[in-house]
Chains A and B, each alone.
Chain A
Amino acid sequence: MNHLIKFCFALFVLCTSAAASAQVNIEINTPGVATLKQSMQARHAQLAEFYASGAVGLTADGMIALRDANAVPMAGRQKVNGLVAAENQDRKALYAEIARANAHPEWEGDIRNTFAQRWIQHAQAGWWVQNGGSWTKK
């Protein structure tokens, strides 16, 4: 539960700070954004343990990746694959939806970059993040 609260807070901080920096209304709340956030929040409860163990890390392009499958019991690696794929689908859709809701679909790349930086900045200590192509532990 704590992780979920932290995640929600990080998402909120992320949106507000990203909004300020990119001069885009990243807080914009369309049904699409709400649905995607809800989906990501629900999934975060399952992903949190894998962020903490280092199995999954935050990439420099605003996505997540399975970086060390050895940290997951073998029978669970396929599930983590699925979670990562679904999360990345939602993240991609979220960036596109925010750009579209701002009436600037062409901003998707910038929004994605802004999110990528902020996700990494607000990642919890001990999580793995991608920095210049290599992984570092926060």
Chain B
Amino acid sequence: MNNNRPLSPHLSIYKKVLPAVFSILHRFTGIGLSFCSVIIVLWICLIALGENYFYLFKQVSENLMFKIIFIIWTIGLFYHLFNGIRYLYWSFGVGMDLKQIYISGYVVILLTLASSVLVWFT
């Protein structure tokens, strides 16, 4: 008799359903945003350091890698903002039916995409 019982599989087999994916994305964007905010603040600080550093500021701003990170940062920011509002409502017990959870989830995606497009292409 083998009493060393195995643990049934969990993360690897559980379906990636929308509410759970939104929850983990909220955490990831939160962590990512706090790291990136340091970079963004340093970038803005370059302007305050005077004309000697303006060239560096310009070079960083035109760097493709920096631009990509900046775009991802804005998308993450909008996602975290809108999903955060969704979570605030849930704290009051509002909008927690399964149907409403899905609808508000799609609304968050829509608002995130729309806001990001607005910021970058207008």
- The answer to whether A binds B is no
Residue ranges of A at the interface with B (Cβ–Cβ < 8 Å): none
The residues of B with any CB-CB pair to A shorter than 8 Å are none
